[in-house]
Copies of this chain bind each other. A is one copy, B any other.
Amino acid sequence: TARNLFLLPGDGIGPEAMGEVRKIIAYMNEAMNAGFVTDEGLVGGCAYDAHGAAISEADMQKALAADAVLFGAVGGPKWDSVPYEVRPEAGLLRLRKDLQLFANLRPAICYPALAAASSLKPELVEGLDILIIRELTGGVYFGEPKELIDLGNGQKRGIDTQVYDTYEIERIAGVAFEMARTRQNRVCSMEKRNVMKSGVLWNQVVTETHKAKYSDVQLEHMLADAGGMQLVRQPKQFDVIVTDNLFGDMLSDVAAMLTGSLGMLPSASLGAPDGKTGKRKALYEPVHGSAPDIAGKGIANPIAMIASFAMCLRYSFNLVKEADDLEKAIANVLDKGVRTGDIMADGARQVGTVEMGDAILAEFKTL
């Protein structure tokens, strides 16, 4: 049975990073008979240049049909002043929305070999392993009205709307509790219920979902601003964090930076299991951006993209052993002191994108 992957390398360092995943796919097809079939499209600035849209309808169809989408990165100064509707990010937001990828899983782990690279004291981040579950298809990202109105007299008004319905909170809370059961069994839910009505509802629904179906999991509530503080103060207190789209955007970036491994962190965006087949739509992407300043130089770190593919193996194809091995290959290569420039350290060996990919593949083959 074919496993259909749709590749959207995007802009900046996206294509270079994706190249290293392609090698792993090819190897898995050859040596493990994995049966991956890949197709490729354009998203972001390059799609705008080609089609005048941040993603074409044809590519949207392919994304919808695929078993999983691998996404690189989008954006760059070249497209800073294109119209709002076709800005590079619009392609990513449309993919999330149309594929109904409501559950964004963002692990913030600290690779032992990189603890020293964190701006936090090493003892606070060594062994850090947080999973942030961010709601991804609701909230202020998609609520209507969302508009910029000319009021006359030189005055404009910008409006965005944060909306959450019970079912949206229920399903993301469910994902958080399920994931917690495979980990340390603890969930911390974050919102601003003291200021936002959507926060009041968030708090209620998470509490009720917990009571009804997941009372074996330990649940805590925290205001999102206090949550940001606690992430900086004592990150290891957390296991799973569940929060809304905008708070998730902020908090997962802070958490990623804590690990010292920003260039290495993957993410998965999942839809609901299909009623018949049980399959989830899914998109996998690095947490980092398109890094236009180093694009095309062959020096980008491909680890986040490769680790995103490991998440794909795990969540889209249930290839758990292969996912574990690929993650282990990354850790082993880091332990051996092989580093791209962004994570260079005294005594390590500095390599480029391709060499890093080769090293990980070579390690993967031995496992």
A residues within 8 Å of B by Cβ?
75, 84, 87, 89, 93, 119-121, 124, 140-141, 143, 146-148, 151, 154-167, 192, 194-202, 204-205, 224-226, 228-229, 231-234, 246-247, 249-251, 253-254, 256-258, 262
Count of this chain's copies in the oligomeric assembly: 2
Q: A161 near B159 (CB under 8 angstroms)?
A: yes
Given contacts A140-B162, A155-B166, A229-B256, 5 further A-B contacts (CB under 8 A): A156-B201, A159-B161, A224-B250, A229-B253, A229-B254
Chain B residue nearest to A148 in the complex (CB): B197
Q: Kindly list the 7 A-B residue pairs having the minimum CB-CB distance in the complex, ordered from nearest.
A: A158-B201, A158-B198, A229-B257, A225-B253, A160-B162, A232-B257, A158-B197
Q: B162 near A162 (CB under 8 angstroms)?
A: yes
A173: shortest Cβ distance to chain B, in Å? 14
Q: A151-B165, A234-B119 are in contact. Are A159 and B198 (CB under 8 A)?
A: yes
Assembled-state Cα–Cα distance A13/B231 (Å): 24
Q: B165 near A157 (CB under 8 angstroms)?
A: yes
Q: Name the contact of A162 in the complex, choosing from B161, B197, B204 (C-beta under 8 A).
A: B161
Where chain A touches its partner, the secondary structure class is helix
Q: Which B residues touch A201, using CB under 8 A?
A: 148, 156-158
Q: Which B residues touch A146, using CB under 8 A?
A: 196-197
Q: A164 near B155 (CB under 8 angstroms)?
A: no
Q: Name the contact of A232 in the complex, choosing from B159, B224, B226, B232 (C-beta under 8 A).
A: B232
Q: Name the contact of A121 in the complex, choosing from B119, B196, B228 (C-beta under 8 A).
A: B119
Q: Name the contact of A163 in the complex, choosing from B154, B155, B157, B205 (C-beta under 8 A).
A: B157
Q: A165 near B161 (CB under 8 angstroms)?
A: no
Q: A140 near B196 (CB under 8 angstroms)?
A: yes
Q: A195 near B89 (CB under 8 angstroms)?
A: yes
Q: A158 near B254 (CB under 8 angstroms)?
A: no
Chain B residue nearest to A142 in the complex (CB): B195
Q: Which B residues touch A167, using CB under 8 A?
A: 155
